A = this chain, B = another copy of it.
Amino acid sequence: MDSAAPMTTPATVEEFRERLAELSDSLPKRLRQCADYIAANTDRIAVSTVAELAAGADVPPSALMRFCQMMGFSGFSEMQKLFREAYSPGWPDYSTRLKNLKETGAGSPAALLAEFVEAGRLSLEALAKTADEGSLAQAVAVLAAAETVHVVGFRRAYPVASYLTYVFEKMSVPSMQHDGVGKLDHRFALRTGDALVAITFAPYSEETLALAADARARGLPVVAVTDHLTSPLARHANAILTVPEVDFGAFRSLSATIALALSLAVAVGTARGEG
């Protein structure tokens, strides 16, 4: 055990992180789990016991001990000492911190960030309150039954469409994004047995509406992700998912929309996997 890395003890949090980065590529499974969990929860080391951290990382305590030693400490206590000394609590009050951020200057980047964080949080809460389980279940059913899932969304809906496609791919759901690159129109790709997810918000995108109408005309099921039940997209849709997104200035946080898209994709992927 004296072969590999220099066995100097990290003396600062900075050094600790460096060592962690060095190691984490060359670690076996359990120790890797430790490394990942510790990397994500570094701030809890100071106030936790071996048993608690081990439980969090889902490893036995002895694995965590070994991890501490790989990091160059004599044991957990020595490692914890480093963090206890460096500990200065950024007190947990989220709302206080938010207020501070806003007040540090009306136009400052930090103040903007605070506003967008707040907008995102409100959007998510609104989504949780208003989401219609029935429509969601229906949308999942429709997409789970489809051969290929087509996804369309432009402008601010575009990031959502691309993330949705990405997650579908990750979950082995055959999917295709209609992104209009090169002004190409891929509507021929819509085949019997497929389904379409169309995403658009006011001001509604012509291309998206057109593709949805086309799909509907051919008898393919359409899932609409939009802002209101009265959206022009609604008339073409079999299932309508509305997202209450709170704007700040001219810009949407997209938080709620992404959360909805993600749920949809994972639910569909799971349903297919089981079916």
Contact = CB atoms under 8 A, between A and B. Distances in A.
Nearest to A258: B254
Contacts of A55: 96
Contacts of A167: 251
Contacts of A212: none
Nearest to A155: B166
A92 B96 contact: no
A211 to B, nearest CB: 19
A59 interface: no
Interface stretch (A2-10, A15-23, A66-74, A214-222): A15-23
Number of copies of this chain in the oligomer? 2
Contacts of A116: 259-260, 262-263
Contacts of A107: 267, 270
A51 interface: no
A167 B262 CA distance: 22
Interface string A186-201: 0000000000000000
Given A266-B249, A267-B112, A18 B230 contact: yes
Per DSSP, chain A at the interface is helix
Contacts of A21: 230
Interface residues of A, number: 86
Interface in A37-64: 39, 41, 43-44, 46-48, 55-56
A109 B143 CA distance: 12
Interface in A217-275: 228-230, 248-251, 253-256, 258-260, 262-264, 266-267, 270
A160 B253 CA distance: 11
Given A47-B87, A162-B159, A259-B116, A94 B253 contact: no
A262 B156 CA distance: 12
A26 B108 CA distance: 38
A30 interface: no
A233 B264 CA distance: 32
Interface of A: 17-18, 20-21, 39, 41, 43-44, 46-48, 55-56, 83-84, 86-98, 101, 104, 107-110, 112-117, 119-121, 124-125, 127-131, 133, 136-137, 139-140, 155-156, 158-160, 162-163, 166-167, 170, 181, 228-230, 248-251, 253-256, 258-260, 262-264, 266-267, 270
11 contacts: A20-B230, A43-B89, A101-B133, A109-B263, A116-B259, A117-B125, A159-B160, A162-B162, A248-B266, A249-B266, A255-B258
